[in-house]
């Protein structure tokens, strides 16, 4: 029996976790849950996903490592010839904030390697089968920082801005094969990544006067992953409560 899967990277916590659970509950996809280090969080998320009546396999690898990513994904495909991977959500990303003037090379490289190169390391090995089957959804989680830039985040803004450009270019390459490529650009979302932000002060600048919830990002990703979004590709959709500058 053919099983349909969605892969979500960086999905043990936060926005990735919410996306994975929503894909399971709303679209009934079996989930490939990628994570890098937090075993306990991944296992907890796996339980939530399985409670939706679908399967959830944990794939522990570092998306910034090309060999590890390629090997893990190729082994999964080889061991699951009857399974169709229909959705890839490139969510894994890290921040190493600091002023550009004093930024260390390792802080620049690690952010680029995870957020931008991770997209390449995960998507490229899986793309051939999507194109052969003439169906697929690739959804890249970018950021408001990649659209307008953000002081103290030149590395993160560079990675997400480049991922936005890659989204648009890849969409033009593969649209004829009915594989869509879109990006979702969250603003301030309640998560571990925003835990140290001054929410009271920042929400004054947000027209909707609050931070977003990870589940709201999940709802948008579910729409883009569904058949309802068949004519949307190459788009960057902001989810930021109206915060543009």
Q: Which residues are annotated as catalytic? A: 156
H or E stretch including 101?
A: none
Residue entry with tokens 């306990």: 40
* Number of neighbouring beta carbons within 10 Å of residue 71: 13
Task: Give the burial string for 138-153 (b: 16+ CB within 10 Å, else e).
Answer: bbbbbbbbbbeeeeeb
Contact 209/232 with Cβ under 8 angstroms?
A: no
At residue 15's C-alpha, the angle toward residues 238 and 158, to 5°, is 55
């Amino acid at each position: 029996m053919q099983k349909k899967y969605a892969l979500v990277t960086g999905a043990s916590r936060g926005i990735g976790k919410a996306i994975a659970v929503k894909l399971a509950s709303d679209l009934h996809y079996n989930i490939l849950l990628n994570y890098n280090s937090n075993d306990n969080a991944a296992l907890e998320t796996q339980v939530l996903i399985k409670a939706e009546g679908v399967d959830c396999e944990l794939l522990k690898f570092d998306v910034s490592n090309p060999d590890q990513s390629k090997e893990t994904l190729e082994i999964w495909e080889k061991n699951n010839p009857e399974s169709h991977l229909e959705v890839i959500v490139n969510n894994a990303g890290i921040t190493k904030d600091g002023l550009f003037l004093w930024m260390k090379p390792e802080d620049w490289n690690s952010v680029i390697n995870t957020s931008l190169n991770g997209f390449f390391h995960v998507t490229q090995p899986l793309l051939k089968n999507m194109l052969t089957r003439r169906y697929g959804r690739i959804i890249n989680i970018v950021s408001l920082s990649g659209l307008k830039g953000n002081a103290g985040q030149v590395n993160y803004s560079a990675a997400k801005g480049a991922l936005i450009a890659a989204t648009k270019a890849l969409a033009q390459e593969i649209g004829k094969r009915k594989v869509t490529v879109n990006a979702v650009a969250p603003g301030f979302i309640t998560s571990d990544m925003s835990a140290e932000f001054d929410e009271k002060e920042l929400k004054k600048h947000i027209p909707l006067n609050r931070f977003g919830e990870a589940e709201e990002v999940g709802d948008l990703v579910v729409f883009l992953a569904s058949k309802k979004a068949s004519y949307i590709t190459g788009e960057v959709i902001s989810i930021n409560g109206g915060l543009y500058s």
